[in-house]
């Protein structure tokens, strides 16, 4: 990493003396710097020529020449404590008394490096991430000797380099990023040991459920199994609560070290040739993603409890260092802290390892009903408004709104009153500019067991006809609302319940959900759209089979027919629905509305007409400010901010 760090400093205008022990290494380093600068230059990312920047880097074999006039020295030698101590002691004896001595270590104690110098107050950790030229994160690690002045100088320095520093207030094994990554690795290794799921399944859950840029085994292969092994060992030696599995030890000893040897958890076409493993979301369907992440959340809480790092810095480190779209505490709040706590208890009971013992701060949040986004407070605070109607609970959790069917004792069967409240609520939420996506789900063990059979007990034929129109009208409101609506099926979705879900734009279902059109058993037929809608989605033969037999089928079968978009485990349903909702909520609202209308209404007309409707919609959307913003942001390589204008 040394040459990358030298390049970063030179790019920020500093004169750099780059010292190594071998001429060839230095030559190689200069070549790499040159290659990188030219690449940046060709993309227009430099304000100077590569030659001007390189002229500030002086390669040397002489420690004396490198250190004698230095204001700041950073070492990036291999992670061997004695070697680092030797370098620190040497640099300390040469450098001017005001010079700061920093280590790029990812795992070794700064305190021990400080001990070999006569300036422990000026010794600090400055941990870059590979490649330093690209990755923004820098962990700044304070030992108990480091002065506040030194910390401030290094934080300012990191900012001057264009980096995003986070402060590690106390030396702790793995600092922030490696500690949390270590906990994820630990859990993945133990899940593999359980033999219930394989490498690809766990990785698919990482990528598709947790939105990690790489699966965890893919990442281990990429970093190198030996590097990960030593990193984990170093943290364990310093007291981190990780335990390595036998199979991981064996893999390490087998010399199949990942991408670099052509084989690790995956096989690669040749040593050093990385090809992204091909995974699909279906592979990870049955893997509980909360299990992968809960121990890491517990470790992150430990860092806060022990005053090692601040919550906001930890989340920043996870986003920038691991390239996660959300910080670890944001993920926890999205899952629900009660779910996180339950998972930890379950794991603790099973494996009796310290890493799973729920931290006090987490337990106290749950005890006080601060459960995350859903209650308006968890690790963070959220603007949440809860309103109870007679049959519904409505939670406005901007930019999402949750409609919870709330007659659990009747399995959320649709009463007349509930239909009225559904229609009214959708109309209201449609007008609420702060709400961009609506999620509908059920309280208790059922999403909705259909129309309330009691309410049409004494119906005449005409009454039933009118009732059918009423239910269709209420569901029509869901199709008409200019915002995406997600059904999160948590249990039974039967009869009118499944028709309600089909009126939504996307259906996410718990793996234990049961769906069907059992009306035939009551001597009636579906009356809220299933004869038309179900047939269109799954084909008329399959629809007839379900309607004629009244059979109830699993969510998995529903997904196979294309009726359900995604399946989640019961504990993940809320998280996955929220994750998809938040993702869609970032998109331009007017485009979403027009896309929904074109799809919903275009399908009822001849294809030629549908395409004209699409073209008209396209024209309309192109005239919005959000389209200007989207196109401009793309060209400027920025993230667009859509306002719905
Ligand atoms: N309507 C009224 N009450 C219901 C309904 C329903 N659809 N479903 C369940 N409940 C009630 C039960 O009566 C019971 O109440 P109670 O405790 O007072 O006896 C309570 O909910 C709990 O139900 P169970 O004890 O039956 O729970 P189980 O876990 O044993 O069984 C089942 C769950 C399998 C879901 C079972 O309850 C069941 O079969 N329910 C009926 C499902 C059904 O047939 N749905 C279709 C209804 S018709 C329809 O939706 C047509 C829509 C179009 C209407 C337009 C035409 C007029």
Mean pLDDT of the chain: 95
Q: How far is the CA of 419 from the centre of ligand 1 (A)?
A: 16
| 375 domain-assigned | no
pLDDT the model gives residue 603: 87
Q: How far is the CA of 500 from the centre of ligand 1 (A)?
A: 15
- Within 105-215, strands assigned E span 123-128, 137-141, 164-168
Residue 641: helix, strand or coil by DSSP? coil
Answer yes or no: do 423 and 320 share one domain.
no
Answer yes or no: do 305 and 450 share one domain.
no
User: 22: domain CATH number?
Assistant: 3.40.50.720
Answer yes or no: do 221 and 153 share one domain.
no
Answer yes or no: do 119 and 263 share one domain.
no
Give me the domain span that covers residue 571: 384-584
Q: How far, in Å, CA of 254 to CA of 4, rounded?
A: 31
On the question of pLDDT at 455 being above 90, the answer is: no
pLDDT the model gives residue 336: 94
Q: How far is the CA of 444 from the centre of ligand 1 (A)?
A: 14
Residue ranges of alpha helices (H) inside 168-262 are 177-194, 199-204, 216-223, 225-237, 246-253
| 8 domain-assigned | yes
Q: Whose CA is nearest to atom 28 of ligand 1?
A: 411
**Which residue in 428, 445, 419, 431 sits closest to 387, CA to CA?**
428
> For residues 546-559, b (16+ Cβ closer than 10 Å) or e, as one string?
bbeeeebbbbeebb
Answer yes or no: do 596 and 579 share one domain.
no
Segment 12-49, tens digit of pLDDT: 999 999 999 999 999 999 999 999 999 999 999 999 99
> In this structure, are strands 137-141 and 123-128 parallel, antiparallel, or unpaired?
antiparallel
- Within 490-529, strands assigned E span 492-494, 506-510, 514-516
| 250 domain-assigned | yes
Domain final residue pick, 168, 194, 210: 168
Domain final residue pick, 367, 402, 430: 367
Domain final residue pick, 337, 367, 397: 367
Helix (H) or strand (E) holding 593: helix 589-602
Helix (H) or strand (E) holding 405: strand 400-405
Which tops the pLDDT comparison, 108 or 369? 369
pLDDT the model gives residue 437: 98
The count of other CB atoms within 10 Å of the CB of residue 499 is 28
**Ligand 1 pocket check: which of 391, 405, 408, 411 to mutate, most ligand atoms within 8 Å of Cβ?**
411
| 642 domain-assigned | no
User: 189: domain CATH number?
Assistant: 1.10.1040.50
Q: How far, in Å, CA of 9 to CA of 7, rounded?
A: 5
Answer yes or no: do 580 and 594 share one domain.
no
Answer yes or no: do 110 and 184 share one domain.
no
Answer yes or no: do 151 and 221 share one domain.
no
**Residue carrying structure tokens 């309607």:** 547
CA distances from 523 to 58, 280, 412, 550, 552 (A): 88, 42, 21, 11, 16
In the chain, the number of structural domains is: 4
Segment 257-294, tens digit of pLDDT: 999 999 999 999 999 999 999 999 989 999 999 999 99
Average pLDDT for 485-505: 98
On the question of pLDDT at 457 being above 90, the answer is: no
CB 299 within 8 A of CB 329: no
CB 106 within 8 A of CB 78: no
| 645 domain-assigned | no
Is the minimum distance from the CB of 498 to ligand 1 under 6 angstroms? no
Segment 612-643, tens digit of pLDDT: 999 999 999 999 999 999 999 999 989 999 99
Average pLDDT for 474-496: 97
Average pLDDT for 480-503: 97
Segment 333-349, tens digit of pLDDT: 999 999 999 999 999 99
Answer yes or no: do 502 and 518 share one domain.
yes
The pair of three-digit structure tokens given for residue 538, joined into one six-digit string:
């799954």
Segment 194-253, tens digit of pLDDT: 999 999 999 999 999 999 999 999 999 999 999 999 999 999 999 999 999 999 999 999
Question: DSSP assignment, residue 522?
Answer: G
The pair of three-digit structure tokens given for residue 539, joined into one six-digit string:
């084909």
β partners of residue 404: 393, 441
User: 595: domain CATH number?
Assistant: 1.10.12
Out of 519, 571, 572, 574, pick the active-site residue.
519
**Percent of the chain at pLDDT above 90?**
95
Answer yes or no: do 221 and 134 share one domain.
no
Answer yes or no: do 599 and 482 share one domain.
no
Is the minimum distance from the CB of 529 to ligand 1 under 6 angstroms? no
| 640 domain-assigned | no
* Global pTM value: 0.85
Answer yes or no: do 495 and 551 share one domain.
yes
Is the minimum distance from the CB of 258 to ligand 1 under 6 angstroms? no
Out of 477, 499, 571, 574, pick the active-site residue.
499
Ligand 1 nearest atom to the CA of residue 452, by list position: 1
Q: How far is the CA of 561 from the centre of ligand 1 (A)?
A: 25
Residue 499 annotated as catalytic: yes
Which tops the pLDDT comparison, 459 or 149? 149
Q: How far is the CA of 412 from the centre of ligand 1 (A)?
A: 9
User: 402: domain CATH number?
Assistant: 3.90.226.10
Segment 80-129, tens digit of pLDDT: 899 999 999 999 999 999 999 999 998 889 999 999 999 999 999 999 99
Is the minimum distance from the CB of 492 to ligand 1 under 6 angstroms? yes
| 90 domain-assigned | yes
Q: How far, in Å, CA of 5 to CA of 605, rounded?
A: 61
Is the minimum distance from the CB of 630 to ligand 1 under 6 angstroms? no
**Ligand 1 pocket check: which of 409, 453, 502 to mutate, most ligand atoms within 8 Å of Cβ?**
453
CB 101 within 8 A of CB 89: no
Segment 293-332, tens digit of pLDDT: 999 999 999 999 999 999 999 999 999 999 999 999 999 9
On the question of pLDDT at 520 being above 90, the answer is: yes
Q: How far, in Å, CA of 237 to CA of 183, rounded?
A: 15
**Which residue in 554, 315, 573, 553 sits closest to 440, CA to CA?**
573
Segment 430-453, tens digit of pLDDT: 999 999 999 999 999 999 999 999
| 373 domain-assigned | no
Is the minimum distance from the CB of 527 to ligand 1 under 6 angstroms? yes
Q: Whose CA is nearest to atom 22 of ligand 1?
A: 410
Residue 428 annotated as catalytic: no
pLDDT band at 130 (very low <50, low <70, confident <90, very high): confident
């Amino acid at each position: 990493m040394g040459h990358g760090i030298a390049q970063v400093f030179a790019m920020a205008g500093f004169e750099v003396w780059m010292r190594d022990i071998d001429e060839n290494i230095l030559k190689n380093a200069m070549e790499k710097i040159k290659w990188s600068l030219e690449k940046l230059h060709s993309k227009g990312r430099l304000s100077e020529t590569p030659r001007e920047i390189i002229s500030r880097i002086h390669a040397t074999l002489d420690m004396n020449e490198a250190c004698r006039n230095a204001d700041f020295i950073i070492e990036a030698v291999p992670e061997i404590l004695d070697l680092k101590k030797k370098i620190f002691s040497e640099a300390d004896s040469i450098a001017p008394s005001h010079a700061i001595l920093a280590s790029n270590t990812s795992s070794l104690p700064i305190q021990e490096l400080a001990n070999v110098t006569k300036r422990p107050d000026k010794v600090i950790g400055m941990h870059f991430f590979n490649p330093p030229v690209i990755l923004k994160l820098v962990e700044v690690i304070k030992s108990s000797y480091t002065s506040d002045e030194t910390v401030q100088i290094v934080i300012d320095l990191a900012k001057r380099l264009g980096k995003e520093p986070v402060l590690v207030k106390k030396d702790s094994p793995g600092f922030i990023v490696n500690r949390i990554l270590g906990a994820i690795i630990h859990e993945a290794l133990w899940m593999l040991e359980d033999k219930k799921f394989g490498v690809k399944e766990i990785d698919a859950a990482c990528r598709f459920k947790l939105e990690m840029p790489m699966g965890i085994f893919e990442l281990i292969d990429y970093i190198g199994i030996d590097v990960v092994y030593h990193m984990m060992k170093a943290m364990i030696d310093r007291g981190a609560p990780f335990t390595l599995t036998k199979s991981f030890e064996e893999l390490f000893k087998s010399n199949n070290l990942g991408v670099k040897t052509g084989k690790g958890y995956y096989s690669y076409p040749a040593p050093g040739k990385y090809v992204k493993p091909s995974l699909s979301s279906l592979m990870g369907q049955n893997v509980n993603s909360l299990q992968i992440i809960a121990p890491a959340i517990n470790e992150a809480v430990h860092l806060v409890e022990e005053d090692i790092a601040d919550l906001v810095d930890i989340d920043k480190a996870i986003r920038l260092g691991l390239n996660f779209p959300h910080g670890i505490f944001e993920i926890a709040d999205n899952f629900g802290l009660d779910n996180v706590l339950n998972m930890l208890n379950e794991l603790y009971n099973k494996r009796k390892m310290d890493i799973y013992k729920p931290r006090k701060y987490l337990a106290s949040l749950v005890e006080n009903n601060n459960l995350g986004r859903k209650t308006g407070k968890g690790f963070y605070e959220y603007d949440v408004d809860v309103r109870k109607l007679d049959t519904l609970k409505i939670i406005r959790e901007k930019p999402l709104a949750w409609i919870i069917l709330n007659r659990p004792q009747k399995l959320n069967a649709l009463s007349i009153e509930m239909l009225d409240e559904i229609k009214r609520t959708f109309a209201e939420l449609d007008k609420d500019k702060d709400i961009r996506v609506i999620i509908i789900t059920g309280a208790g063990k059922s999403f909705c067991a259909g129309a309330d059979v009691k309410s049409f007990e004494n119906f005449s034929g005409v009454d039933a006809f009118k009732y059918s129109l009423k239910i269709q009208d209420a569901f029509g409101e869901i199709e008409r609302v200019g915002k995406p609506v997600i059904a999160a099926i948590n249990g039974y979705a039967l009869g009118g319940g499944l028709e309600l879900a089909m009126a939504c734009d996307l259906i996410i279902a718990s793996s234990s959900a049961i769906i069907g059109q059992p009306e035939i058993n009551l001597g009636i037929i579906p009356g809220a759209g299933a004869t038309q809608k179900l047939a269109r989605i799954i084909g008329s033969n399959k629809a007839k089979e379900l309607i004629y037999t009244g059979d109830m089928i699993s969510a998995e079968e529903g997904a196979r027919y294309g009726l359900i978009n995604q399946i989640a485990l019961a504990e993940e349903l809320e998280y996955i629905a929220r994750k998809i909702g938040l993702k869609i909520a970032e998109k331009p609202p007017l485009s979403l509305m027009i896309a929904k209308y074109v799809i919903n209404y275009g399908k009822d007309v001849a294809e030629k007409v549908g395409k004209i409707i699409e073209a008209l919609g396209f024209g309309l959307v192109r005239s919005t400010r959000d389209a200007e913003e989207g196109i401009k942001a793309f060209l400027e390589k920025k993230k667009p901010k859509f306002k719905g204008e």
